[in-house]
Amino acid sequence: MRMHNVTPDRREFICGLLGSLASAGIADQAFAQNSHPMGPSQPFSFEGLIERAKQRSAEPYKQPYRPAPEIVSKIDYATHGKIVFKADQALNANGPGAYPIEFFHLGMYFPKKVSINLIESETSQEILFSADYFDMPKDSVARGLPSDAGFAGFRLHESRRRKDWKHQDWMVFLGASYFRSIGSLNQYGLSARGIAVDVSVPTPEEFPDFVEFYIDPARKEGDPTFVYALLDGPSISGAYKFAVIRTDGAVMDVDARLFARRPIQQLGIAPLTSMFWYGEYNRMRLIDWRPEVHDSDGIALWTGKGERIWRPLNNPRRVVTSSFQDTNPLGFGLLQRDRNIENYLDGVNYDRRPSLWVQPLHDWGKGSVQLVEIPTQDEIHDNIVAFWVPEQAIEAGTSLNFRYRLHWRAEEPFPAEQLADVFATRIGRGGEPGQDHTATPDAVKFVVEFEGGALAGLTTEAPPQGTASTSRGMLTDVIVEPIPRTERWRARFDLKGADGVDPVELRLFLHIGEQAFSETWAFQFWPDQPAG
């Protein structure tokens, strides 16, 4: 079993880190608010970075620099929490740029040096590390790091015009090729990453690193911050251009130029990484007191043919990869649709976790959106991964270019206005209330609730119909009815005779005649896994 965390820091470490560190940064001559040592000026262009990535892919892979591993391995969560960047060192703390920038110290979970550079016009300078940028205990083991230790990553803070900017960041690049944003509801949750390599194939998964960053800060609020990154791993190198804009959430335009160093079985483009422990339809009794625990509750797809699909997430018994074949997809994303705090009831704000939508900015051709679900027994690991896999074989020397836009928001950015969304999925024993359920011991009832779209104007005199299908077993007739005292409708049916250990693929949608009134609900049901 593979655990897909943002390196081991994924939950407890990074969440605590983002809440405890003070903001910081370094300025060059163009942002001369402080005096900090900088490396020599070097020419910079995205075209030059692309060429460097291409050249790297033709050379043997070299591991990133790990400064003083005997020291860094001792900088655990508690030790790292006492290493605080000095707030008055923040890049753009006093202008002229809009968003102050902080840099992260190395630690047990971030042991590799990442070169961070500032761009001015067509040149760049590396920001040189110094322990003087940090407040730390006099006896901290981190004081023994060498002068070339470097930083682990960086984060963008809210506008310096806000009084709380020192305590509120909105975008983080930290760990391997991971990055994430707080979205519209000011809460971190799922992550994105630059690339995914062999997530669910027999060979070990590979985690390429962003080894160099080049930052061109936004001059005023609403302007993009440009972040350029050099990616390198055993199988692939790449050059990335991120145009990051703070809106009501966050929007990122990504231009990825990729060069394969060796053959890759499964190359994941625009990968999203999240956590799903349990929801209303698969809660495990006596495991945890909360009604639901997840960063995301489903994957939404907008296919190249225009179909809208909602697939609730699972915590399966074994690693499962689901493939949705497509040509030129219009978008996909991992969403957190359930915003009712009563369904979580804890203090970590699962109801405010962002949704993340991938919008291709050109034709991606043939391939598949793949969803990987990994068993987990708790909430500290990311066990959900979604990405696009191109149909073409990735051989040594293959070059690829993918452009896409990431939307970090509360809701899906391009809803189908006339189609109802899936509101909830519920599972129980088959049959009807008051009946002898021993007569249908193998029947399982599914209830799918829909909300919004054209459903609002329908009545029981002209209700929608439901069409359902299954990959195994038999389905009873679908009953569609309004839910009393709500504006929702539900479709319910029983599944019979679907024995075995393999999953059953179910599909359902609402319609009147040939006109669809809902997105397609697609569900993977495990007959041998109790619903709750």
Tell me how crowded residue 467 is: count the other CB atoms within 10 A of its CB: 14
Mean pLDDT of 311-315: 97
Distances from the Cα of 50 to the Cα of 176, 399, 438, angstroms: 19, 11, 66
- Is 90 exceeded by the pLDDT of residue 440? no
Q: State the pLDDT confidence band at 529, using cuts at 50, 70 and 90.
A: low
DSSP state letters, 3-60: ---SGGGTTHHHHHHHHHPPP-----GGG-SS---B---EE--HHHHHHHHHHHHTS-
Distance between CA atoms of residues 15 and 355, nearest Å: 17
Residue 217: predicted pLDDT: 96
The superfamily in CATH containing domain 421-525 is Immunoglobulins (2.60.40.10)
Pairing mode, if any, of strands 520-525 and 308-312? parallel
15-74 pLDDT, tens digit each: 444 433 333 333 333 333 445 689 999 999 999 999 999 999 999 999 999 999 999 999
Query: Quick one: what percent of the chain has pLDDT higher than 70?
Result: 91
Q: What is the pLDDT of residue 3?
A: 38
Check whether 367 has a pLDDT greater than 50: yes
In the predicted structure, residue 241 carries a pLDDT above the cut 50: yes
CA distance 169 to 22: 10
Phi/psi class of residue 121: alpha, beta or left (left: φ > 0; alpha: ψ in -120 to 50)? left
Say if residue 52 is exposed, middle or buried (CB neighbours under 10 Å; 0-12, 13-18, 19+): middle
Phi (first) and psi of residue 518, to 5 degrees: -150, 165
Q: State the amino acid at position 529 in one-letter form.
A: Q
pLDDT tens for 128-166 read: 998 888 999 999 999 999 999 999 999 999 999 999 999
Q: Is the pLDDT of residue 196 over 90?
A: yes
At 331-362, the pLDDT tens digits run 999 999 999 999 999 889 999 999 999 999 99
Per the model's pLDDT, the better-predicted residue between 485 and 283 turns out to be 485
Q: Cβ of 182: how many Cβ atoms within 10 Å?
A: 23
Nearest Cα neighbor of 216 from 205, 233, 228 is 228
Helix ranges restricted to H, 154-269: none
Q: What is the mean pLDDT of residues 305-312?
A: 98
Over residues 95-123, the mean pLDDT reads 94
Mean pLDDT of the chain: 90
CB 89 within 8 A of CB 24: yes
Q: What is the structure's pLDDT at 31? A: 36
Phi and psi (nearest 5°) for 131?
-65, -20
DSSP-assigned states of every residue in 132-153: GGEE--TT-GGGGS-TT--BSE
pLDDT in tens, 242-264: 999 999 999 999 999 999 999 99
Question: What are the tens digits of pLDDT across the range 451-502?
Answer: 999 898 898 898 999 999 999 999 999 999 999 999 999 999 999 999 888 8
For residues 476-508, b (16+ Cβ closer than 10 Å) or e, as one string?
bebebeeeeeeebbbbbbbbbebeeeebbebeb
Residue 10 has pLDDT above 70, yes or no: no
Helices (H), 58-118: 69-72, 77-81
CATH number of the domain located at residue range(s) 8-409 in this protein: 2.70.98.10
Are the C-beta atoms of residues 273 and 257 closer than 8 Å to each other? no
d(CA 56, CA 87): 37
149 vs 284: which has the higher pLDDT? 149
The ranges assigned to domains in the chain are 8-409, 421-525
Mean pLDDT of the region 428-438:
74
Helix/strand/coil for 174: strand
Per-residue pLDDT at 287: 81
CA distances from 212 to 65, 80, 113, 298, 497 (A): 12, 22, 9, 33, 56
3-state secondary structure of 495: strand
